[in-house]
Amino acid sequence: AKSEGRGTYRFFEAKLGTQVRERRILEHDLRHAIARGEMHLVYQPQTDVQSGAIFGFEVLLRWQHSERGPISPALFIPIAEESGAILQIGEWVLRAACREAASWPNPLSVAVNVSAVQLLAPHFAQMVHEVLFQTELRPERLEIEITETALIRDPSRAQSTLRQLKALGLRIAMDDFGTGYSSLSNLRAYPFDKIKIDGSFIRAVDENEQTQAIVRSVLGLGRGLGLPVLAEGVETAEELRFLIEENCQSAQGYLMGRPAAIEQFAEHTHNTTVP
Ligand code: C2E
Ligand code: CA
Ligand code: CA
Ligand code: CA
């Protein structure tokens, strides 16, 4: 039994070694991914729940590794955050997204994910200001999505950067609401413009009453605070029906549209207004 235990230990040790090596490789490759043209953006429609109309798109990053194929953001974003590569990558995402959105008919908006590392980095708001200026996107058409981890790490710095961003005229959404470090006081302490309820709640809303009660309360909270609520991860007609009945403002999910190349949405994003 003893030798078996050792063997197991060696197995785990070897496995751990492989994981560390894997991570180092990805960390290295991430630094060159943009220059190698391996990164691209996909867009997912955000719709008005009552009318079904698309009012904007969330931008999601995709990494097509030249040898390994597609790598999930759930895997590479945390590595990019730890290594600091997210600063360069995040700026690239923001600039590309704003440039793209500037070509859409007004008032279609674009929502960009910003990680805690970016938000807390020096001069983040100034960088956003420069990107808006360079791309000529009107600030009210840009929404930044942040999760509560950014607030936990350095509340006062997060507070001052969020205020600077608000002063630029853009909007700020609280992403993944209801998960992780969620705290109701954050809704009051920081200048949020929107609550995004995490998809894990929305997906279960057609399955159990507790989840319905939670989603209802978040919608009530939004109403009370004057903050619109967007439901993420809507996959079924039943889930959408619940949101319609409960007067949820907006939604996003595979039911309304999967993240895709922007060309897939040309009928919405093509500027047809007569000059
Ligand atoms: P997120 O910001 O919560 O984005 C929503 C995720 O849910 C996306 O996964 C999206 O493809 C997926 N999704 C959308 N609708 C549905 C649905 O109906 N059902 C299900 N099951 N999933 C749905 P994705 O693209 O894999 O991104 C994962 C996470 O990676 C994002 O979560 C975000 O935290 C991060 N991420 C992605 N792009 C960026 C980026 O440009 N910058 C930063 N900092 N993070 C990013
Ligand atoms: Ca998001
Ligand atoms: Ca989310
Ligand atoms: Ca479901």
Ligand 1 centre and the CA of 185: distance in Å?
25
pLDDT higher than 80, residue 41: yes
Q: 5: which 2 tokens?
A: 């235990």
Q: 56: which 2 tokens?
A: 């904007």
In this predicted complex, what is the ipTM? 0.99
Per residue in 91-132, pLDDT tens? 999 999 999 999 999 999 999 999 999 999 999 999 999 999
**Contact 253 CB / ligand 1 (< 6 Å):** yes
Q: How confident is the model at residue 1 (pLDDT cuts 50, 70, 90)?
A: very low
- Cα distances (angstroms) measured from residue 104 to each of 59, 86, 250, 269: 14, 27, 20, 5
**Contact 254 CB / ligand 1 (< 6 Å):** yes
d(CA 213, CA 218): 9
Per residue in 95-106, pLDDT tens? 999 999 999 999
Ligand 4 centre and the CA of 199: distance in Å?
10
- What's the CA dihedral at 30, 33, 35, 38 to 10 degrees? -170
**Residue given tokens 């990805």 in the structure block:** 26
**Contact 246 CB / ligand 1 (< 6 Å):** no
- What's the CA dihedral at 257, 263, 265, 271 to 10 degrees? 160
d(CA 137, CA 24): 37
DSSP code, position 84: S
d(CA 50, CA 40): 32
Q: What is the pLDDT of residue 6?
A: 63
Per residue in 143-186, pLDDT tens? 999 999 889 999 999 999 999 999 999 999 999 999 987 788 89
- Cα distances (angstroms) measured from residue 101 to each of 9, 48, 65, 250: 52, 19, 26, 19
**Residue given tokens 């939670």 in the structure block:** 214
Report which residue type is found at 217.
Answer: S
DSSP code, position 105: P
